[in-house]
Amino acid sequence: MIFRHESFQLWESECMGIMLTRRKDFIHLSKAGMQVLSMGSEEQRIIQDINKVDKMIHSLESCNFLKVDKNNYLVFECAKANNRVISIEQEFIKKGDAHTGDETSFQNLLNVKIHEVTLRELLLFNSLYVCKTLTDIIDIVTAQPEPLVFYKSFLELNGTNMVSVLSFDSRSMQYLLKDDFAKHFSKEYPLFYRNKIQKGPSSDQKFFYRSAIDSALRNN
């Protein structure tokens, strides 16, 4: 289990950290508020804020499925709430000369940008899940004036995006992957990578892993 979590604090601002041994949560307190970092093995769980509103917290270990190899590093760049990125990196030794010596370096393999989901987006996703036919799904997908929401990755979708979820339907994919929407495609943040898919009731916290390309080949 290899992680690196990056966040920043101004040197003149007072802050403190507390490690809770029971749940293995790290609590960071500062003028900006409180941050909870789940370092245990529990995939996800519900906590409540000061207003008694339920929040879902995901552990660092819950993102292990993104690794290409078990020895990869997971880097969590969370300095800004609206720009959170999970990077998968591989450590290697860069050979140097007699004066500089060898240097430990990291090669970036994959980046996943995590977005904050809005109420409108949640309602849209719920509408897709309650559709009774594939035609209903196609109608909802094509009716959206801006398809950007389908390319965003959310923790609420276990770190994947809706275009991967819809990969079982060739007509949805044909529409969402059109050249007309090429402005939303990025080499830095690829659309397709290994996905974590719920298996059975959510309370069991059991998952299987499959890419959108594998799902498309299985269903088309």
Give residue-wise pLDDT tens across range 73-85.
998 887 676 788 9
Q: Is the pLDDT of residue 147 over 80?
A: yes
Instruction: Report the alpha-carbon distance of residue 87 to residue 54 in Å, rounded.
Output: 28
**Looking at the predicted structure, is the pLDDT value of residue 108 above 80?**
yes
Average pLDDT over residues 58-71: 88
Q: Residue 6: is its pLDDT beyond 90?
A: no
| pLDDT average, residue stretch 48-54 | 84
Distance between CA atoms of 47 and 92, rounded to whole angstroms?
Answer: 39
Q: Report the percentage of the chain scoring pLDDT > 70.
A: 93
Question: β-strands 33-38, 25-30: how paired?
Answer: antiparallel
Q: Which pLDDT value is given to residue 32?
A: 75
Over range 183-192, report the average pLDDT.
Answer: 91
Residue 15 · residue 7 · CB < 8 Å: no
The per-residue pLDDT for 2 is: 58
| C-alpha R_g of the chain | 20
What is the residue extent of each domain of the chain? Answer: 3-114, 119-219
Helix (H) or strand (E) holding 26: strand 25-30
What is the chain's length?
A: 220
Neighbours of 39 (CB within 10 A): 16
For the ranges 41-45, 71-75, 86-90, 209-213, the lowest mean pLDDT is seen at 41-45
Q: How confident is the model at residue 39 (pLDDT cuts 50, 70, 90)?
A: confident
CA distance 120 to 149: 10
- The pLDDT of residue 3: 62
Token pair 């996905």 in the structure block, residue: 195
